[in-house]
Amino acid sequence: MCDWTNYQMYCPNSGTLISGAKGTDGKIRYCCPRCGAEIIRTIKGRRHDTIEVYAPREPTTK
């Protein structure tokens, strides 16, 4: 079952307010429109969240 609740947080890289959705695996995925960072938030408990921030992918030019 999908959870279509809107989850909001501030991007740790640019400080922009971003919103994301929870997937079937329980992880909330965000993508910052300002800096392009991809953020994955995993809720471990009532007061424990794990946030992974991935740098934006650089476009390949040939």
pLDDT at residue 44 in the model: 93
CA 51 to chain centre: 8
Region 54-62: what's the mean pLDDT?
A: 72
pLDDT at residue 56 in the model: 83
Q: Could you give the C-alpha distances from 58 to 15, 35, 36, 37, in angstroms and in order?
A: 21, 12, 10, 11
Q: Quote the pTM value.
A: 0.79
Segments making up each domain of the chain, as ranges: 3-54
> What does the pLDDT look like over 5-51, one tens digit per residue?
789 999 999 999 999 999 888 899 999 999 999 999 999 999 999 99
pLDDT at residue 37 in the model: 92
